[in-house]
Amino acid sequence: MSFSNKCIGAAFSIKNLETKPAKRTPAAPFTTSTLQQEASRKLYFSVAQTMTLAQKLYEAGKISYMRTDSTSLSEEAIGKASDEIVSSFGQPYLQVRRYKTKSESAQEAHEAIRPTDFAAKVVSSDRNEQRLYELIWKRTIASQMADARLERTTATISVKPAAPVDPKGLNADGTLKEELVATGEVIKFDGFLKVYIESTDNEDDEENKGMLPPLTIGQALGLNQMKATQRFSRPAPRYTEASLVKKLEELGIGRPSTYAPTISTVQKRGYVLKEDREGKERLYNEFTLQQNQIKPVTHKEITGAEKSKLFPTDVAMIVNDFLVQHFPNVVDFSFTAHVEDELDEIARGQMPWEDMIQNFYSGFKERVDVTQDVQRSSVGTSRTIGQHPDTGEQMSVKLGRFGPYVQIGETEGEQKPRFASLKKGQLMERISMAEALELFKLPREIGTFEGKPMTVAVGRFGPYIKHESKYYSLGKTDDPFTVEDSRGVEIIEAKRKSDAEKFIKEFPENPEIRVLNGRFGPYIVAGDKNVKIPKGKDPQSLTLEECLQLAAEAPEKKGRFGKAAAKTSAKGAEAKPAAKAAKPKVTPKAKAAPKVKAAAKPKAPAASKPKVAAKTKKA
């Protein structure tokens, strides 16, 4: 505000103009990590989706191998890319470049990800495959194109106040020591920008600066308006899949082939949620100087909104604390890089491999043995929220088998404690007393339907409505705390209609035979076997005899390893008596390395303790 007040009635003029030539250089061809990052930013693909599409393009022979940490291109690829650039854009756009990978941990077993035929523009009828291919094509072509030449202009604007100002804040010529700066740029030669512009993770990045009008030093400027806007500091942004891949690569965690599986695994196991979250409304002030008057205005903005960001769950925080406490060397960020250095030393003959295994396994085995005795109740953190305002019972939040929950009362008391699961997005360390009490409003009765009550509650598999001893799941957008009776009737009737359409035909004389309507069309259920209905056959007209005949003719359900596995297991079953009879002739099992591990199992603690160890291993 003080600077705005000084500018009331002030004279503005160009104090200095500085014009500098600048250039922008194209990015290197794609590695696995940069492809995942750019596909996430530009195409909004997950890292798993990017690798699946790249795998298909590679198998079709359209791109080179997609798991690589090298940015180099073969001489053949550079030659073909150069021919395409000259034919499509002209000789001035060609600038041959040979890239070298800067990362010390890079193995460079393959060249960068590139098209196999630069003349091919359309390679797939699948829209997403084609989009990913175009991204790879443009990046590779741009890497061999000329720099973009720019001209950047910086104008410094002096302010000469009309009202008296403290002399300490003035220059010798009577202008304010505070100055205004305007910047702009002009593209003189577009170069690689004709094909490709690399994206960034910086949400506030302003790459495209505006153009300035013709200016001269000393030129007087008229003030149209000046705005002073209130701004707030921001926390570090949460990771997206793309920015997490970038961080993994910077820290040397994993290899190109492990980025996508790692990110997918932590999501599948419930350690991380990828989701959008709504922001909160916030007020901010803006002061506009116009016609020598300052007008304050209060605006609203949404802050904290997140789109496709990664959020840790309560389980993740507890597992992380457990691993950091008991296995600090394994979860250390530099663990992967350190192991790779030792493997390189072994390959060069500078370290015996037995020493490396001994150094790691001796300490690791001891820590695993220690964690065998850790009780599950001591692993999961609990937090006391306070006392129930009506009953005075203690309220606490804990982590259970099916996730975090709030507990009212103690297990040792005469009355049984009450439990309520936390809502999606609620965290154990942040939930308040009011939010905890809100959870115990379930189950609640929302009305009646057909003379029977409808009760809303939350179970192991999510929120549901109970009506006449039957359960009906709520939709993804339905809130169990606010859903009304009209919506409950709608859900029940929709489920009944779906179930009615599912059952095509039943046979009272043989309840195990049914004709159902499934996701991929009608089929027959014969006990544990699902039988396809031949094309042209009307499911409604099928008789019991026809269903039994189709079931008998249908092949047996394959096991985990197919028919061969079934035959092998059958032969194994027949051979069991013979094997028992010939048991003394079998080679001693103790000689096989895997059996030594099995022999250690009887030393495990009591029945309840291996469960904790198994949970830790899964983490």
Model pLDDT for residues 372-390, shown as the tens digit of each residue: 877 766 666 677 888 888 8
Lowest mean pLDDT among 134-143, 149-158, 314-323: 314-323
Please give the share of the chain, as a percent, with pLDDT higher than 90: 43
Q: List, for residues 273-292, the tens digit of each pLDDT value.
A: 998 888 889 999 999 999 99
Q: What is the pLDDT of residue 610?
A: 36
The one-letter amino acid code at 273 reads L
Q: What is the pLDDT of residue 386?
A: 85
Would you say residue 155 has pLDDT above 70? yes
Find the angle CA(496)-CA(498)-CA(503) to the nearest 5 degrees. Answer: 95
> What count of other Cβ atoms lies within 10 Å of the Cβ of residue 75?
8
Q: What is the pLDDT of residue 418?
A: 84
Cα–Cα distance between 89 and 267 in angstroms, integer?
45
The residues carrying an active-site annotation are 65
Cα–Cα distance between 459 and 474 in angstroms, integer?
11
- How far is residue 149 CA from its own chain's centroid? 37
Would you say residue 365 has pLDDT above 70? yes
Q: Is the peptide bond before 443 cis (omega within 30 degrees of 0)?
A: yes
Would you say residue 609 has pLDDT above 70? no
Please give the share of the chain, as a percent, with pLDDT higher than 70: 85
Would you say residue 364 has pLDDT above 90? no
Would you say residue 589 has pLDDT above 70? no
Q: Which residue has the tokens 């359409």?
A: 501
Tell me, what DSSP letter sits at residue 422? P
Tell me, what DSSP letter sits at residue 558? P
Cα–Cα distance between 440 and 509 in angstroms, integer?
48
Give the pLDDT band of residue 454 (cuts 50, 70, 90). very high
**Average model confidence (pLDDT) for the chain?**
83
Cα–Cα separations (whole angstroms), residue 118 to 44, 57, 261, 403: 25, 14, 30, 52
> What count of other Cβ atoms lies within 10 Å of the Cβ of residue 418?
14
3-state SS, 505-557, equals: EECCCCCCEEEEEECCEEEEEECCEEEECCCCCCHHHCCHHHHHHHHHHCCCC
Q: What are the E-state strand segments in 292-432? A: 293-303, 306-312, 383-387, 394-400, 403-408, 418-421
Cα–Cα separations (whole angstroms), residue 21 to 153, 195, 487: 9, 22, 65
Torsion angle defined by CA atoms of residues 379, 385, 391 and 392, in that order, rounded to the nearest 10 degrees: 90
Query: Rounded to the nearest 5°, which phi and psi values hold at 219?
Result: -65, 130
Cα–Cα distance between 387 and 51 in angstroms, integer?
51
Which sign, positive or negative, has the C-alpha torsion 385, 386, 387, 388?
A: negative
Taking a C-beta distance cutoff of 8 angstroms, is the pair 79, 118 a contact?
A: no
Q: What is the pLDDT of residue 568?
A: 41
Mean pLDDT across 125-132: 95
Find the angle CA(542)-CA(548)-CA(550) to the nearest 5 degrees. Answer: 75
Lowest mean pLDDT among 17-21, 265-269, 566-570: 566-570
- Short-list 372, 437, 447, 369, CA closest to 408: 437
> Which range in 151-155, 334-338, 615-619 is most confidently predicted, on average pLDDT?
151-155
- Helix or strand or coil: residue 266? helix
Taking a C-beta distance cutoff of 8 angstroms, is the pair 70, 33 a contact?
A: no
| Tokens found for residue 122 | 């359309």
List Cβ neighbours of 386 (8 Å cut-off, separation of 6 or more).
Answer: 394, 395, 433
